Structure 1
Amino acid sequence: MGHREDLLEGAKKCLVEKGFVGTTARDIVKASGANLASIGYHYGSKDALMTEAYIAVVQEWGDQFSAGVEGRGGSLERFRSVWDGVHAGHEASGPIWAASMEIALAGDRMPQLRSMLAASQGEGRRGLVSMFTGVPEEDLTEEDLRTAGAFYQALLNGFMLQWLFDPASAATPAELTEGMRRAVAGMAAAKTVRDAP
């Protein structure tokens, strides 16, 4: 590996161990074995490097649980399967979720970092929609991302918060799936009543 890759690996390690705010450029240098000037040379800034590290860690995390997804796209079985995968990796992904919340709650203290991560939201939504529906990422439209993507992202963020605040009372994949089934059944029943003559 070259300095660029070493820096990225070091930043990923620091992100998991120390979070965004707790990681300094010197921490990354120590973890990577690279030199301080190489951060600016390869990434422009520590925040840009940490953003790349965050995106890489989230991608790796998603790849781990998306490979075993079962069920027809859009089915409750597939919905449950995705959440089973998320749940199975929740302890290992806790630091990633904490880093996400750290950025979200930072307000204007990390504007550059927030804007860089906001720009990557579309890719996250694209991956989520594809996972839940089975539609290849390249076939998804902007409307898919703005609707279904935002919906699945909101569910994931809520799931993350539940586990960060109180794992003992957080929803299980079975409970989340049953909640979705009930919500859909309630909407279908309301539509039937509304459409009745």
Structure 2
Amino acid sequence: MGNRDDLLAGAKRCLYEKGYARTTARDISAAAGTSLASIGYHFGSMEKLLNTALIEASREWGEGLSEALSTAADRDAAPLARFETAWTRIIELFATHRPLWVATFEAIAQLDHAEEVRRYFSDGMQEARLGLAALIQDIEETDEAATGIGTLYQALLTGVMAQWLIDPDRAPSGRELTAGLKAIIERAQ
């Protein structure tokens, strides 16, 4: 690996170990085994490096999520069973990437000052909406309902992850989310 790759790997490691808000340029250069000057040379600033690392780590998490959901999906299962399986897998994946979610929520608080990260999250959110609808409900991305269903799943994802960050002992499980959805459906009929 060259210095640029080392810096990116070091920045991702720092995101997991220290978070977005507490990572310094010295932390990254130490983790990467490079000089402080190499950050400016390769990325222009520590903020750009950290944002690039966050975007790359988030993309990797999204790929892991897609893989976890596609391997867990039983296309013949009833919709509520698929829903429960999907959310159980999402929560399991969250547990292994909790530090990334902490860093992500820290970065979200800074979006007014990081247009590149805002664009990435905005574009990624639309892609995630359609992907979640396809993976959880087996809805084609071209289906009219995909955006609405995916938007609900994206809101649920963000809310569930926030609950797991705030109070993991009382955060919902896939089974509890399914019970809640089932109760909503029954009351709506």
TM-score of the superposed pair, with normalisation by structure 2? 0.79
Aligned CA RMSD, in angstroms, stands at: 2.8
List runs of 5+ in structure 1 lacking aligned partners. Answer: 190-197
Q: Deviations over 1:7-31 (max 9, x none)?
A: 2211111111111111122211111
Aligned length: 185
Corresponding residue number in structure 1 for 2:159: 158
CA contact (8 A) 2:131 2:141 kept: no
Give, as a single letter, the amino acid of the residue that structure 2 aligns with 1:18: K
Q: Which residue of 2 aligns with 1:72?
A: 75
Instruction: Identify the residue that residue 172 of structure 1 maps to in structure 2.
Output: 173
C-alpha distance in 1 between matches for 2:54 and 2:145:
24
Deviations 1:31-64 (A, max 9, x none): 1123334334433433332233223323333415
Secondary structure of residue in 2 paired with 1:168: coil
Q: Distance in 2 between matches of 1:21 and 1:143?
A: 39
Work out the CA distance in 2 between the residues paired with 1:145 and 1:46: 38
Between the aligned residues of both structures, percent identity stands at: 39
Give how far 1:67 is off: 4.8
In the TM superposition, 1:1-197 aligns within 5 A as: 1-62=1-62, 63=64, 65-72=68-75, 75-106=79-110, 108=112, 110=114, 113-135=117-139, 140-141=141-142, 146-187=147-188, 189=189
Displacement of 1:127 in angstroms is 3.3
Deviation at 1:109, TM superposition (A): 5.3
How far off is 1:83 after superposition?
1.0
Unaligned runs of 5+ in 2: none
Q: Deviations over 1:170-190 (max 9, x none)?
A: 111101012122223333x1x
Q: TM-score, normalised by structure 1?
A: 0.77
For the residue of structure 2 that corresponds to 1:61, the secondary structure is helix
Counterparts of 2:144 and 2:34, CA distance in 1: 43
Q: 99-108 or 74-83: which moved more?
A: 99-108
